[in-house]
Amino acid sequence: MEKLVLKDGTEISINEGVGLGNITASVDGWDAAADMAGKLTKNNLSHVQFLHDEELTAEYHDMILIQPLRVTTDPEFELSFGIRKQTTEELQQEGVQTVIAYLTDEQALTVKELYPVWSGNGVGYAAGDRVLYSDVLYKCLQAHTSQSDWAPGVAPSLWTAIESGEHAGTLKDPIPAKANMEYEYGKYYSEGEDIYLCKRGGVENPEEMYGQKVTLQYLPSYLVHQYFELVE
């Protein structure tokens, strides 16, 4: 019997006489196919073994899935997939992404071109992930699967622009405003030639909110008397 053993110990009985690019396994219906497909993660494929009658015949590291997976139902249910070894370039890029994930926001801005460009094609993002969009670095606020109309510049509940920290936020040194950015009450922001104070309108003692932060979708000029006061 031929088996494929994944890193987490999952054993998959596979058909004999197939290559890495065309592995087939019998499954008991759609649910079983989905369960098996869910096991073929990048982490699980980082170390795989092939067994024949419980004896090791081959062992591979740093493998990835070749898309797409295929399911056939005639004459029986079978899941077919392929795996290949990651290229040197892919491994190097993966190493870079691992390193930059630990940078502070301030450090990340100095190498923002190393971060992946945002994609709206069903990519899974976790809170804290950083992406580049329209040459602005954004941080993910909550985990989600991307959609074309959830771009960082238009989805304030999902993304916030990372501010450089090069500006003090004072009247003499205002912070350049961006759409969908995190603002701090009590600090000054510039938009074009105008300067705005981030100050909550319609509340008593708005100065008590100074130091609190809020992510806003629109630029200050659209939110005067609500979140900003035009200073000059």
What's 124's domain CATH number? 2.10.10.20
Which positions ≥6 away from 192 have C-beta within 8 Å?
Answer: none
Residue 179: the pLDDT is 80
Q: Of 69, 86, 103, which residue is a domain's last? A: 86
Report the alpha-carbon distance of residue 47 to residue 52 in Å, rounded: 17
Number of domains in the chain: 3
Among 161, 184, 204, the domain boundary falls at 161
Domain-located, residue 168: no
Q: Specify whether 59 is located in the same domain as 132.
A: no
What pLDDT does 16 receive?
80
- For each of the chain's 232 residues, which pLDDT tens digit applies? 799 999 999 999 998 867 899 999 999 999 999 999 999 998 999 999 999 999 999 999 999 999 788 999 888 899 999 999 999 998 888 888 888 988 988 899 999 999 999 999 999 999 999 999 988 899 999 999 999 999 997 887 899 888 776 788 999 999 999 888 889 999 999 999 999 999 999 999 999 999 999 988 889 999 999 999 999 7
The string of DSSP letters for 54-72 reads TEEEEEEESEEEEEEEEEE
**Residues 93, 75 share a domain:** no
**CB 152, CB 141: distance < 8 Å:** no
Q: Is residue 70 part of a domain?
A: yes
18 half-sphere exposure, CB direction, 13 A CA radius: 20
* Same domain, yes or no: 81 and 93: no
The pLDDT of residue 67:
76
Q: Assign residue 53 a region: left if phi > 0, alpha if psi is -120 to 50, beta otherwise?
A: left
> CA–CA separation, 31 vs 51, rounded Å?
25
Last residue of a domain, one of 86, 118, 152: 86
**What is the span of the domain harbouring residue 114?**
89-161
- Angle value at C-alpha 138, between 109 and 145, nearest 5 degrees: 140
Please indicate, yes or no, whether residues 9 and 82 belong to a single structural domain of this protein.
yes
Domain membership of residue 166 (yes or no) is no
> Is residue 50 a part of any domain in this protein?
yes
Least Cα distance to 46 among 16, 80, 83 occurs for: 83
